[in-house]
Amino acid sequence: MKLEGQVALVTGASRGIGRAVAETMAAEGAAVAVNYRSGKELAEEVVAGITSAGGKAVAVAGDVSEYDQAVSMVEQTVSELGGLHMLVNNAGIAKDDLIYNMDPGMWLDVMRVNFGGTFNCTKAALSVFMRERAGSIVNMSSVMGERGWTGESNYSASKGAVNAFTRCCAVELARFGIRVNAVLPGFAPTDMVAGLMEKDGGKGISKQIPQKRFGEVEEVAKTAVFLAGPDASHVTGALLVVDGGVSAQVGVGKPL
């Protein structure tokens, strides 16, 4: 198991891609702190599944948009699991609307969680990583951070910020032995993109994807685990796209 003896904190891990990341890391031998903000029962379900399979995990409450809570999350992880070696900044929200109709608070809410949470948890973890002169951070971004899509201006901007932050962190932290990378998923079946699937079951989107299918959360999770683990020891500052080829082509930018 490639992550045996390692401890990971995965934010927003009670469902979706975050849950898949936590479960995949645990399957590779890592002890996992399963962060949640409001889904306590779901987080405890993830923990129960990991422990029943012989792994080690704890549920860690915390709102990533609040720096003090991010610090507490790191401290609890270290206290209960004995250290911290990997951080996956996965927690995120979406509040989609056309720019003209968007309430000014909507872009700020999305930015505070998606980018603010990434900043807060990264900064909170650095006290551990820099002391150990080792650590791996994986930021869950999106192809939306590199491309445009109707109704996604606030979400795309937040993920664009995450991408830029990833590169800067990689440059700043390399001398401390800390690697920082990002995964850019395309369309995967999660609650966050459910609204995009409402029209015709998502067929208008899937037929624009070269592979003609949506990604699975497990496929995204395996990419995150690769970047976090030893097989990516010389990879830092990378934005790894997992989208079935959709961003490699010229498209219409909205469901047909």
Sequence ranges of the domains in the chain = 7-243
Quickly count helices (H) and strands (E) in the chain.
Answer: 8, 7
Tell me how far apart the 2 most distant CA atoms of the chain are, in Å: 52
Task: Give the catalytic positions in this structure.
Answer: 155
Rounded CA separation 122/108 (Å): 20
Q: Residue 248, SS3?
A: helix
The CATH architecture of the domain made up of 7-243 is 3-Layer(aba) Sandwich (3.40)
Res 168: pLDDT: 98
Q: For 207-247, what is each residue's pLDDT tens digit?
A: 778 777 888 999 999 999 999 999 999 999 999 999 888 88
How far is residue 2 from each of residues 46, 71, 86, 128, 220, measured CA to CA in Å? Answer: 21, 27, 13, 21, 18
How far is residue 177 from each of residues 57, 65, 117, 137, 230, measured CA to CA in Å? Answer: 26, 26, 22, 11, 13
How much is the pTM?
A: 0.92
Q: For 25-44, what is each residue's pLDDT tens digit?
A: 999 999 999 999 999 999 99
Band (pLDDT 50/70/90 cuts) for residue 196 is: low
